Amino acid sequence: MLAAESKNTRQSLAVPAFRTTAVTKATADLGDLLWRASQDADDILFRPPDEWWPLSGWSHVSSLLWRGPLPVGIAGLAPSAFPGRAEARLGLAPATRTPTSARHAVEAALQLAAESGYEELVLALPGAAAWARAAASEAGFEPSHTFQVLERPASVSSRRIERSLEFEAVGSERLDELLAALNAAYEGSPDFVPIARATLAAELAMAKSPFVVAKGESGEILATAHLRFSATATNPSGGPYAWVSNLTVLPAAQGLGLGRKMIRRAVAELHAMGALSVTLGVDSRNLRAVRLYESEGFQFVGELVFWSRRVPSRRTDPVR
């Protein structure tokens, strides 16, 4: 009895046990602290302009990972547009990163997914987070695709801008028209799920900037680009934050050079606002868009890698 007790004591002194607790109001700040420290150490690319991306703003359920008395990590889950599939992000305090703590962080995400009844879990991991990559692979996750961030450096010379097309700024007053144009352009893309009206409305409100659209002869929207600019945040190469999202061309107008005109116009508009470089994100499977951006001088600066696996219905094999 005594021998067993002293053995247990020795073990717990040598290797403080890992455990998880749900993030509550009381521990939300702690969770955010770990979240930021981890993102900062991995890749500041995925930091939004002006403010940190609070964990609570992204995930609907999250766990804190403890090692003995120390909070060391965080796992957050958000529902995806696909029924049964959740997306997870992980954070681990840089000073406590070991293969074991990384495996526990991955395990915490799987546990959350199982408890919330999801069937599939997608881990979104910065390409620079080697610690998480190894743990995800060991836990049976496989990489599926990546979201690449490209930057067009200030040193790339400007291209000829098409003046004959009519462009216009369009905001929430033409929400339904914008929504229809975006969904028509994206239909057929990998993992396509129509953008919900509320999602687009929220995006417009958050970005505080309108879309730029190219119009057809009867005023219909043919192509879109959403420009975001902030003088108080920075692009990877150091100038002001400038980002192009939702560059789209209606299917009937694709392949005719309109996408190229739109990206040139978007770059020119952002430079006029004070941008030095311009960034954007693209799904690595979208070869047409990747080729277009590269030919316009955009270069790879970082990526989020999506790893997925089915969620075991009950977690019976906790990592050691």
Ligand X SMILES: CC(C)(COP(=O)(O)OP(=O)(O)OC[C@H]1O[C@@H](n2cnc3c(N)ncnc32)[C@H](O)[C@@H]1OP(=O)(O)O)[C@@H](O)C(=O)NCCC(=O)NCCS
Identity of the residue, 101 or 277, whose beta carbon is nearer to ligand X in the bound complex: 277
Where on the chain is the footprint of ligand X (CB under 6 A)? 185-186, 189, 247-249, 254-260, 282, 286, 288-289, 291-292, 295
| Residue 298 · residue 151 · CB < 8 Å | yes
Identity of the residue, 93 or 225, whose beta carbon is nearer to ligand X in the bound complex: 225
Min dist. Cβ of residue 249 to ligand X (A)? 4
| Residue 315 · residue 111 · CB < 8 Å | yes
Identity of the residue, 142 or 168, whose beta carbon is nearer to ligand X in the bound complex: 168
Min dist. Cβ of residue 163 to ligand X (A)? 16
Q: Which two tokens stand for residue 163?
A: 């003046």
For residues 222 and 33, give the distance between their C-alpha atoms in angstroms, rounded to a whole number: 44
Q: What is the largest CA-CA distance in the chain?
A: 89
Helices 287-295 and 258-273: crossing angle in degrees, nearest 10, is 50
Min dist. Cβ of residue 286 to ligand X (A)? 5
Min dist. Cβ of residue 150 to ligand X (A)? 9
Identity of the residue, 264 or 315, whose beta carbon is nearer to ligand X in the bound complex: 264
Closest CB to ligand X: residue number = 259
Min dist. Cβ of residue 263 to ligand X (A)? 8
For residues 87 and 95, give the distance between their C-alpha atoms in angstroms, rounded to a whole number: 25
Which string of b and e fits 120-137 if b means at least 16 CB within 10 Å?
bbbbbbbbbbebbbebbe
Burial classification of residue 108, based on how many CB atoms lie within 10 Å of its CB (0-12 exposed, 13-18 middle, 19 or more buried):
buried
Identity of the residue, 93 or 244, whose beta carbon is nearer to ligand X in the bound complex: 244
